[in-house]
Structure 1
Amino acid sequence: MKHLILLIKLSLLMLVTACGVQPGSKDPADFEAEITALTQEILAMDASVDPQEAARAARISVEYPLQLRRDWNVTDPAIIHNTKVNAGLRDMGLCYQWADALQARLAQENFQTLIMHRAIANADNIRLEHSTVILGAQGETLQEGIILDPWRYGGTLFWAPLLEDTRYEWIDRQEVFEYKRLNGRLPGA
């Protein structure tokens, strides 16, 4: 019976998200242009950003999620893949796992002019809660950064200045955790 219910849920999700972007639907030739554009956006954040750091951060942010997509066998739109992870059919691929992995990979670079923030959207709705990485220039706030969201399109990076993302309202992850602690919504609260 559990499998029948899961099958029905997956079928409904496929119908609802049929217009969603499939992982890997972007032409690979476009990735170099994407890396170049992201590099320019990172450099535009602040004159103090090192061009080599910007280029490395952009390349990693675009290419590493593609590797994760292969490693995690992501073949469906994000919401369907989430259902598979939650049902035990896939091991990895929830939004916080994408964000954790990308943040860890970027942290290996020991950037001196760039900083990473973490943000959560829809924290008041656990079924729709979404995590991401925000890249900023050293000393700048989360709101001045660029969203690096590999989950949204299943490994094809979505990026934009935070204030231009009309799909989500991002809040600093620590603020969300503190709110949840105060309201008894985190373990150990």
Structure 2
Amino acid sequence: MTHIANFPFISRLLPMVAFVAMAVLAACGAPLPAPGVAPEHKRVTLTRALMALGPDVDASEARRLADIAYDYPLQLAQIYEIEDAPIVHNQKVNDGLKSRGLCYHWAEAMQARLAREGFRSIEIRRGISPARPLFPFEHSSIIAVAPGQPLQSGLLLDPWRYAGALYWLPVTDDRVHHWQPRVDVLRDKARRKGVPFVMLPATDGLSEH
């Protein structure tokens, strides 16, 4: 029997198909239940993963970040009146039925909330996964990295993907999205449009590497 791993193209395609299929099935069903409070063991696991970003990551900062990453999206889900799968909610925002809840709204809100903590041993950066032929949706989120380290070394913290239930994993393990620094994606979009690239100064105290 031929193993699917022998066909890299199919292996890359399957997670994308599964993601879209999940959204379609959710759109046909009942409204999503509100995400629940994360149990202690999940918080501990994320804390340890954050501490593993670098030898100088402070344990108390890692734990504080883990708690906020799990808890604040629950507040945002209520503020955004999330009732459907993310892609369905996006369409409602685009149609004017909901005011907020696109992925970049979640990313901006999380970025602003985490800026208030003044972390010194962990950097919070914005990442964008550009649209591409097999997955024609641009996606934004936040990524935690050790200071001075590249984006690809970080942990993706994605509150949008499961409608307020935090999804996280190492950036390089995300088989659905291809994460790049936000500023690089915006600069490339400006170049392709033939317009000057202007990056407004950050006002939230967080990195835009």
Question: Where does 1:39-188 land on structure 2 (aligned, <5 Å)?
Answer: 39-124=47-132, 128-184=137-193
Give, in whole Å, the separation in 1 of the partners of 2:195 and 2:93. Answer: 22
**Shift in Å at residue 138 of structure 1?**
1.1
Give, in whole Å, the separation in 1 of the partners of 2:196 and 2:89. Answer: 26
Give, in whole Å, the separation in 1 of the partners of 2:169 and 2:185. Answer: 22
| TM-score of the pair, normalised by structure 1 | 0.83
**Shift in Å at residue 33 of structure 1?**
2.2
Aligned length: 176
- Native 8 Å contact 1:24 1:156 kept in 2: no
| TM-score of the pair, normalised by structure 2 | 0.76
Gap regions ≥5 residues in structure 2: 1-19, 199-209
Q: CA RMSD, aligned part only?
A: 2.7
Q: List 4+ stretches of structure 1 deviating above 3 A.
A: 13-16, 22-28, 123-127, 185-189
Superposed CA offset, 1:158-187 (max 9, x none): 100101111111111111111111111768
Cα 1:155–1:23 change in 2 (3 A) is farther
Aligned to 2:24: 17
For residue 97 of structure 1, give the secondary structure of its aligned residue in structure 2. helix
**Shift in Å at residue 25 of structure 1?**
6.1
Between the aligned residues of both structures, percent identity stands at: 38
**Shift in Å at residue 122 of structure 1?**
2.5
